[in-house]
Structure formats: structure tokens, C-alpha cells
Chains A and B, each alone.
Chain A
Amino acid sequence: MIGAPPSRRRVAVVTGAGLVALVAAVACGLGVGPTPIGLGRIATSILADLGLGHRTLSPLDATIVWQLRAPRMVLGLLVGAMLAVAGGTYQGVFRNPLADPYLLGVAAGAGLGATIAIVDVGGGLATPTWTPALAFVGALGAVALTWVVGGRGAHAGPSTLILGGVAVAALLTSAQTFLQQQGSPTSIARVYIWLLGSLATASWSSVLLVLPYVAVCASVCVAAGRALDVLSVGEDESRSLGLPVSRVRLVVVAASSLGTAAVVSVAGLIGFVGIIVPHLVRLLVGTSYRRILPLSVLVGAAFLVLCDTVARTVLAPSELPLGVVTAVVGAPAFVVVLSLRRRTVT
């Protein structure tokens, strides 16, 4: 029907495609690498662990799969899911299509925190091992600062908050750049690599570190879908419909920011996922956040792991920055979907 929102069938098809992409991403994450390890052998090894059949993986291959690739793949799923759902949530709560998870200064704050750790400011006061912790604190500190600068966000309009984020990001980025310049050439290179984002340092401990944050924060974001749909008629109207706008904004901004801070602290500043995945999903299933947000979790997770597979294989043994791959893969995909959709609409 002309002018009808996407049908249930279409949503089901897109969800199915997303699940297929997710399975493909998991398979690539485990199977693809400098040492090719067949998925069949990985599967039989899992069955062997369950007491069915016998092992077909050598101890070295098993280590590669379970201690290197698997944690990296799982971390990629978590980071991609969180960035995508946080971006979609920000787009909804600020009613701004250009919003991404770094809107309120998370990236600048995390960058400053990480730089302080890597450049070793204060001679031993902060060490590179502190990078995740300081990045996390920096990210949350930046959002808190934005909230205060933007007129205690809950009561000020969203544009005041966004402008507050611009100011805070500019300030913290300049501080970060200054500190980076004070470091040795080695530390400057490490800061640079961190800023571009990577999953190379993934381990099961980093997975366990971010898992609770992602589980809780992504769930809160997904649960906010209905509230964000109400908010799509504007603040005054949604208030008159019974939506506690200030409270909703506080809760979803807190959840998006906390989750983003957690994933950024272990993976650095991976760009583009948070803005492109929700838009891609929106083009496919329409404007309801009840569909966009859960599908962003799915597609974001699959997208990031597939991009990471590209990042770690095309120039192996060296790696491409993950942020570069997300943009190079994501932008054309986005353009294709955009043009296909335009063709179906006109």
C-alpha cells in the first residue's frame, strides 16, 4: 500500500538477514585468520568438549581459536552492539539524525583519559595499564560535564545539551592534543592507534569487564524504544501525552553514555558504527525505535565483527585501523541501501 509503514513481513525478513549476518560474523571471527582453521574442526572441538566425539584441533589451534579469536570476536559483538544501539538511542532522544554515541563528549573524554595513561603524565602516576580505567572515567566525566554545562540537561532543551557537548568535546580534545604532543614518539604513535580504535588487545578479561555494562545499558536502550517513539512527536506533545520527558532523557542518556564509555575504554574510538548502523536499519524497517533499537544491536554486532575480520586480514600480519574499515565498508553499504530505498519510494 502506498504510504504504509513497513510490514511485519519485511521486518521479519530484515531480522532473518541480520541473524544470518551475525552467524557469518561469528564464523569469520573464529575461522578466518593467518592460520586457516576450518569451521567443521571448530564445531567438532566444541562437541568434543561436550563429551561427543573426539578433538580435531591441535593444542596450538585450540589456543588460537579460544584464547585469541573467540574473545576478540565476542568483544567485537559487544562493542558493535553497544555503539549501534547507543547511536540509535541518541538519534531518538535528541531527535537528531546526526547524533552518534560520541555526541556528548564521550570520545573526547575517553581520548583524554587514555592519553593521560599512555603518555604517562606525572611520571609514573598513571601507567599505560591504566588506559581502560582512565578512558572510562574520562568518558563519563565528559558527559557529566556536558550535562552540567548544558543547563542540567534534563530541563534544558536538547539543543542546549548538544551545544554543551560541542563545547566540552572541543575543550577536552585540545587538552588531549596538548598532552599527546608532550609525549615521546612511541607514546604519540600509541595514542594515535588507540584513537582509531582496535580490538587487538581483546581478552576474556576485557570481555567480562564490559559485558555487564553492555548487557544492562543496551537493555535499557532497547526498552526505551516505545518512549522514543512517543518522543518523535516533539517534547511538548509527548509531555501532554503523559511522557515524563526529562526523566526519560536522563535515563537513556545515562544508559547510552555508560555503555559507550565501557566499550570505548577497551576498544578505543571506533567511529561510524554508531551513526551508520541505526540509519541502515531505519532505511530497512522504518522509523519506529521499537524496531530500530533491537535490530541495531543485532546488525551492529555483526557489522563490527565482519569489519574487524577485514581489518585483521587484508594487510596481515599488520592490522588496518578498525575505524577506517567501518567507514570504508559502511559508507558504500549505506549509499546502496539509500539509493535502493529511494527507487522503491519514487
Chain B
Amino acid sequence: MSAIEVAGLTVRAGEATLLAGVDLAIEAGTWCTIVGPNGAGKTTLVEAVAGLRRPASGTVSIGGREIHAMGERARAGCVALVPQHPVVPPGMSVTAYVELGRTAYHGVLRAPSARDRDVVADVLERLDLARLAGRDVATLSGGERQRAVLARALAQATPVVVLDEPTTGLDLRHQVTLLALLRREVAECGLTVLATLHDLSLAGQFADRLVLLDRGDIVLDGAPREVVRHEELARRYGLTLRVVDVDGTDVVVPVVPSVTAR
């Protein structure tokens, strides 16, 4: 059984159709990255899988359970979200922020249990945040902050994590660090990941599978090596793309007329 099963998913906003009957099944313990130009519907798909967008038709199931039929608390035990622009509340310690990920377990009337605190301590350790545990989360650097957001999602201890452009605003090193941490969670804990990414090279390096979305529909779906080389990818971006193999890693480079040559 697939960890994530999206069937005939259509999402509308007023007159506009954001997703037009998307079908997508993602195996447990794998990483699927959605790529596509701006306005393709990537964020909508991620938000729908996280249960935040109601479909006009179609279903999203996680572990065989239809997520839009669940209450918030049950859903938070199935899927965790790393949003593109997380709201970082000032004055909250990193520990307290990551503990928010345990809300569904202890509820809003009880304090986190010993087990909740253990999970949080473990996640902080795994993501190298333990030394920042007492810091105000709003004072962290961009890279540290994004790790804290990922830590909160992992503290939810869900089988599925969805991420919307998790590397936005990070320098190259922090992008790679974050994606590598996530990759380790997939490999060691059997986590299922659905992410959107703009960087095609990074998308190809870390995912098991790439899906090209455009105008609310899936255009390409396959192994990263095949998708990044497909001519349709370049066409959808309206660019000429070159794929360079650097020691076995595909690097996708847009070919632009040299500015200096003009």
C-alpha cells in the first residue's frame, strides 16, 4: 500500500482550477519531489496533502485513511508540514517551538508528557539543535530556523512529512545540510517525504522520484535521471537546459546567452 495516495484531486480557487484531477501514489519510505514553474500548483498540492486545502473533488489518503475526513488532531498524527514561509513567533524558545509538534499527542489542556519531552530532546539532538534549545527561535539564523521548523515536523512523529520549498532563503551549504538531514530520516526511519523544490539539481540529488507539475497537472513522473533529461522539462520552463554529469551527480544548468558576449 502506498503511504500517500492522491486520486483525481481537483482544487479550485474561485474560477481558477489550481489542480486538475491529479493522481499520485508515493511508496512508503521514499522521497518524491515536485518540480515545476511558478504557478504550476506545487504549493496547492502540498497543502492539499497536508489537509489544509479542501478539494473540489478527489481524495488524499495517507496510510489508507482519507485525510479530509479526519479532525485536525488525528490528521496531525498522519502528516506533518514544513511550510514555505513558517510563522516564527517571537519570544518562544527552540524547545518550546519544537514541542508544538507534540500538540496532537498531549492535547491543548495538558502539558507535554515525559515521552513528548524525550521525543523533542531526541529530535533536537538529531538535527544538531540541542545547543540552541534555550534560544529564542526568532533570533536564529535562517539555516538554524529552518532546521527548527523541520525539527517541529519530525517531532510530530508522522509517517509522512510534506515540505514546501524548505530551502527558501538558505545559502548553499544550509540547503544541502537540511536536505541531507531529511534524507537520513528517510533512510533510517522509513519516513515518506513529499517536497517541492525549485533547484532542479538538488531536487534530482536527494529525491527517489521527480514529478513535473504544470498548470495543475502532472506532466512527467519518473526517476530523477530521466526527468531532468526529458525535453518536456525544458519546454515547460521555457528554457534551454543542459544536464552535466559531475562524478555521477546530475547538475541542471540553464543555458542563457552570455551577457558579456553581447
> Which A residues are closer than 8 A to B by beta carbons?
1-6, 223-224, 226-227, 229-230, 232-234, 236-245, 248, 286-288
Asked if B52 CB lies within 8 Å of chain A CBs, one says yes
Which residues on A sit within 8 Å (CB–CB) of B89? 229, 232-233, 287
The interface-forming segment of B58-66, B70-78, B237-245 is B70-78
A241 to B80, CA, bound (A): 7
> Which B residues are closer than 8 A to A by beta carbons?
47, 50-52, 71-73, 75-77, 79-81, 83, 86-93, 96, 100-101, 103-104, 108-109, 111, 134-136, 138-139, 152, 156
Contact check, B100 vs A233: say whether CB atoms are below 8 A apart. Answer: yes
Which residues on A sit within 8 Å (CB–CB) of B96? 5, 229, 288
Contact check, B92 vs A242: say whether CB atoms are below 8 A apart. Answer: no
Contact check, B108 vs A240: say whether CB atoms are below 8 A apart. Answer: no
Evaluate whether A2 and B92 lie within 8 angstroms (CB atoms) in the complex, with A242-B103, A243-B72 already known.
no
Among B86, B93, B104, point to the contact of A233 (Cβ < 8 A): B86
A4 to B133, CA, bound (A): 9
Evaluate whether A287 and B91 lie within 8 angstroms (CB atoms) in the complex, with A226-B109, A240-B50 already known.
yes
A239 to B72, CA, bound (A): 6
Contact check, B135 vs A241: say whether CB atoms are below 8 A apart. Answer: no
Contact check, B72 vs A232: say whether CB atoms are below 8 A apart. Answer: no
Which residues on B sit within 8 Å (CB–CB) of A244? 71-73
Which residues on A sit within 8 Å (CB–CB) of B72? 239-240, 242-245
Which residues on B sit within 8 Å (CB–CB) of A230? 100, 103, 108
A234 to B72, CA, bound (A): 14
Min Cβ gap B120→A in Å is 13
Contact check, A243 vs B87: say whether CB atoms are below 8 A apart. Answer: no
Q: Which of B50, B72, B139 has the most CB of A within 10 A?
A: B72
Contact check, B109 vs A241: say whether CB atoms are below 8 A apart. Answer: no
Contact check, B83 vs A237: say whether CB atoms are below 8 A apart. Answer: yes
21 sample A-B contacts, Cβ–Cβ < 8 Å, listed by A number? A1-B134, A2-B139, A5-B96, A6-B91, A226-B111, A229-B89, A230-B100, A230-B103, A233-B86, A236-B52, A236-B83, A237-B87, A240-B50, A240-B51, A240-B81, A240-B83, A241-B76, A242-B73, A242-B76, A242-B104, A287-B89
Contact check, B87 vs A287: say whether CB atoms are below 8 A apart. Answer: no
Which residues on B sit within 8 Å (CB–CB) of A237? 81, 83, 86-87
Evaluate whether A232 and B108 lie within 8 angstroms (CB atoms) in the complex, with A1-B134, A237-B81 already known.
no
Contact check, B135 vs A1: say whether CB atoms are below 8 A apart. Answer: yes
A237 to B152, CA, bound (A): 11
Residue of B nearest to A244 (CB): B72
Contact check, B80 vs A240: say whether CB atoms are below 8 A apart. Answer: yes
Evaluate whether A227 and B51 lie within 8 angstroms (CB atoms) in the complex, with A3-B136, A233-B89 already known.
no
Among B52, B90, B91, point to the contact of A240 (Cβ < 8 A): B52
A245 to B135, CA, bound (A): 27
Which residues on A sit within 8 Å (CB–CB) of B101? 241
Evaluate whether A227 and B52 lie within 8 angstroms (CB atoms) in the complex, with A3-B136, A5-B136, A242-B76 already known.
no
Contact check, B104 vs A5: say whether CB atoms are below 8 A apart. Answer: no
Which residues on A sit within 8 Å (CB–CB) of B76? 240-242
10 closest A-B pairs (Cβ-Cβ)? A242-B104, A242-B76, A287-B91, A3-B139, A232-B89, A234-B87, A227-B108, A240-B81, A3-B136, A242-B73
Which residues on B sit within 8 Å (CB–CB) of A286? 91
Residue of B nearest to A6 (CB): B91
A32 to B88, CA, bound (A): 47
A227 to B50, CA, bound (A): 20
Min Cβ gap A211→B in Å is 24
Which residues on A sit within 8 Å (CB–CB) of B93? 4-5
Known pairs A1-B134, A288-B92; list 19 more (Cβ under 8 Å). A223-B109, A226-B109, A229-B100, A230-B100, A232-B89, A233-B87, A233-B89, A236-B52, A236-B83, A237-B83, A238-B103, A241-B76, A241-B156, A242-B73, A243-B72, A244-B73, A248-B108, A287-B89, A287-B91
Which residues on B sit within 8 Å (CB–CB) of A234? 87
Min Cβ gap A101→B in Å is 22
Which residues on B sit within 8 Å (CB–CB) of A241? 76, 100-101, 103-104, 152, 156
Evaluate whether A287 and B103 lie within 8 angstroms (CB atoms) in the complex, with A3-B135, A5-B136 already known.
no
Evaluate whether A4 and B136 lie within 8 angstroms (CB atoms) in the complex, with A237-B83, A241-B76 already known.
yes
Which residues on A sit within 8 Å (CB–CB) of B86? 233, 237
Min Cβ gap B55→A in Å is 16
A2 to B109, CA, bound (A): 31
Residue of B nearest to A3 (CB): B139
A238 to B72, CA, bound (A): 9
Min Cβ gap A278→B in Å is 14
A340 to B71, CA, bound (A): 45
Which residues on A sit within 8 Å (CB–CB) of B81? 237, 240
Residue of B nearest to A246 (CB): B72
Which residues on A sit within 8 Å (CB–CB) of B152? 241
Min Cβ gap A289→B in Å is 11
A287 to B52, CA, bound (A): 26
Min Cβ gap B227→A in Å is 28
A4 to B136, CA, bound (A): 5
A229 to B91, CA, bound (A): 11
Contact check, A288 vs B139: say whether CB atoms are below 8 A apart. Answer: no
Which residues on B sit within 8 Å (CB–CB) of A2? 139
Residue of A nearest to B79 (CB): A240
Which residues on A sit within 8 Å (CB–CB) of B50? 240
